[in-house]
Structure 1
């Protein structure tokens, strides 16, 4: 793999702003996602991919035909082109740090923004490697443009090395994954793969086939505004009621106090005035029974406070978002085993653990395309401290090539 070629490709992708918008029902949610999609469409044609198709919903699919004379399952690889709206992805200025020395990386001297291993200790795993960061004013976009880079680079490598045997491979780049819609208009039948892998994990070695069950909740609290000088017995302050609701939920079951299989309630948006306050939560749990209990607790909490107040001040609307892919992957666990074997063959220690989030793969698995998740290499997603080691991008690219080869051996 040509290291500089991969760096150049990744830098090209991340400097194209593709931030998605959770408040826009259009598909894709932002027009600028088309900018990268069209760049990729041309690039896939240029490297020699076949059946390159960018559809009306900004899904880009392509085929690498089989170069063997017997039938093996068609395998897919998927990544998303959008970046998170949690932090700006406009005017990304990547910084390439060769031979990382294990010390603080100054991202922005003027604003005193520092990426430090004393806080982000995972950095020390990559001492001596090439680290790509931002200038501290944007996110990087390794989530998931590292995955896009890896898939394109792997396809290019296989085309340039026909001596490497592989079956038919399908790839797809999706929009709007970061706002939960990445699989909503994915045409599984047209894709035509028996299974796929999302290249959307974090540190090197990650291999995941379990993810959160997920729901979103909107809690609306209605109050009554009265002149504060004459408010006794009349004013109903929705923000005060909102604080009761917030404090009634388990204080330790929040993202900053949980890990592993532990679920949480996450209050991510709060807008309020006396007359009305709106709280927006995400609810997460790997276990379906516990997940349903979390939803029930939110409804019960609202009901309890309403009874205390003697009025229906609080209403809660809960919508399921996606479910744990484990149920759909376990019956075909050999697809995880193949990826695990490839990593071990390469000297990579597989880190098989639950995803504390979701990927396109979780929804695709329920749509008939079992889809575990493989590391893409980045760290500290969705913020100014995001970084990716170039060596991890290269290793992920090699894992894709290895899976293509392994399938021809397993199904001969």
Structure 2
């Protein structure tokens, strides 16, 4: 086992055990105080390994500097600390499966749960690797504590080996990426870099410079509440209207479970309320802005139709921008992408350009003037109990980043 493999494994197991789930219903910054537990841990660790300018900002990000040992562009390396609200992330118990021999993987706390190459074809390519999963009752949190582990391992190595030529590196570990709040407006200036990379990608070799464009919608339906015994001709059930609204939206071709590749979608991910009042949380995704606008108009039209069928109800639809396809900016200057491709090839890894069916902090940073493509970490089956990652993939990400910053010093 290499030193990088030992280091990324130890860090991921340790970081994943800290609950850092974000909460989109919170108005605080960061959205949950528990994210600061990991932030403080990382700040202390950065100080201990000799990083400079270590700080935890008032918006909850951890920032630090690995001082330059050579000339070159200032480069940012980012990963997010929070885990997704989509699945239980409390009480994570990471476990390491040494030398995966193939076939199904079962989980100690959920005996009926099975991870197999039939479910996750990428797993079949990892025979012999060391695989990390959770115990079956939680997600693992490799999204994106794997990225945090990669960046921390790289920083520790560079600080311990000042003979390695590299430009100034700025590190950032952000909160609330999973709820679309990872990039505070102050972050670009606080980073102060020429370009950056998020370590928030999947399979070995992925270098991503294209993401979805994304909007988020809140639909509120207020009905008429009255006692059920005397409801005839009076009650307007907001839950029933919400169900009708969902049925009006295209089901067979435009939801996540029936789309892939470059198809966009709409997705109702939360419905809360009572017969009196309901709120639906909906995300809209498309790779092109025209397609995203069309999905928003479809939702507004559906809401208007529901309101027209029941004038006693009140239906409101608020759509807000979340992030935009980073391709619109990166295609004007592919320097950071080209550098990442060269670093992969120098490590014997063929880079894979794939559009992300999602977004990263890099989407927002790129839009805000800091070009920021996304690099692989190895994370798979994220946001659920089958989440897993190869230790060897994480170590490969460290090697690619090391090569990248060394190449940048020669540029």
> What is the TM-score when the length of structure 1 is the normalising length?
0.95
What secondary structure, in the 3-state scheme, does the structure 2 residue paired with 1:403 have?
helix
Counterpart for residue 22 of structure 2? 20
Name the count of aligned residue pairs: 408
Secondary structure of residue in 2 paired with 1:279: strand
**Equivalent residues of 2:341, 2:351 under 8 A apart:** yes
Q: Distance in 2 between matches of 1:279 and 1:110?
A: 31
Paired residue for 1:54, among 48, 53, 56? 56
Q: CA deviation at 1:109?
A: 5.8
C-alpha distance in structure 2 between counterparts of 1:316 and 1:190, whole Å: 35
Residue of structure 2 equivalent to 1:154: 154
Change (3 A) 1:207 1:308: same
The aligned residue for residue 398 of structure 1 is 399
What corresponds to 2:6 in structure 1? 4
Deviates more, 1:299-308 or 1:255-264: 299-308
Q: 1:155 to 1:109 in 2, by over 3 A?
A: closer
Question: Are residues 230 and 35 of structure 1, via their aligned partners in 2, closer, same or farther at CA, if it must alter by over 3 Å?
Answer: closer
Match of 2:165 in 1: 165
In 2, the alpha carbon distance for the partners of 1:110 and 1:341 equals 43
**Cα displacement (A) at 1:349:** 2.2
Residue of structure 2 equivalent to 1:143 = 143
Unaligned runs of 5+ in 1: none
1:272 positional shift: 4.2
**Residue aligning to 2:69:** 67
CA distance in 1, matches of 2:386, 2:373: 26
Q: 1:186 to 1:129 in 2, by over 3 A?
A: farther
**Cα separation, 1, equivalents of 2:57 and 2:7:** 28
Q: Any idea what the Cα deviations from partners look like across 1:364-390, whole Å, max 9, x if unmatched?
A: 112211110001111111111111100
**Aligned counterparts of 1:61 and 1:228: Cα–Cα separation in 2:** 57
Partner of 2:116: 116
What's 1:35 paired with?
37
Q: Cα RMSD between the aligned structures? A: 1.7
8 Å Cα contact 1:208-1:355 kept in structure 2: yes
Corresponding position of 1:127 = 127
Whether the 8 Å CA contact 1:158–1:164 is kept in 2: the answer is yes
1:59–1:186 Cα contact (<8 Å) kept:
no
User: What is the rounded CA distance, in whole Å, between the counterparts of 1:158 and 1:24 in structure 2?
Assistant: 38
Aligned equivalent of 1:290: 291
Structure 1 residues 242 and 167: alpha-carbon distance in aligned structure 2, compared to 1, 3 A threshold: same
Correspondence 1:176 to 2:200: no
Tell me if structure 2 keeps the 8 A contact 1:269–1:281. yes
Q: Distance in 1 between matches of 2:58 and 2:150?
A: 25
- Match in the other structure for 1:94: 94
Confirm or deny: 8 A CA contact 1:182 1:360 kept in the other structure: yes
Q: What is the alpha-carbon distance in structure 2 between the residues aligned to residue 34 and residue 393 of structure 1?
A: 24
Q: 1:232 to 1:312 in 2, by over 3 A?
A: closer
Which residue in the other structure is 1:380 paired with?
A: 381
8 A contact 1:131–1:387 mirrored in 2 = yes
State whether structure 2 residue 317 is matched by structure 1 residue 330: no
Post-superposition offset of 1:161: 2.8
1:111-136 C-alpha deviation (Å, 9 max, x unpaired):
42222222222211111100000101
Give the CA deviation at 1:15.
Answer: 1.0
Partner Cα separation in structure 2 for residue 186 and residue 132 of structure 1: 35
Structure 1 distance, partners of 2:273, 2:29, is 30
Kept in 1, the 8 Å contact 2:212–2:358? The answer is: yes
| Structure 2 unaligned spans of 5+ | none
Q: Relative to 1, partners in 2 of residues 1:180 and 1:215: Cα closer, same or farther, differing over 3 Å?
A: same
Secondary structure of 1:86 counterpart = coil
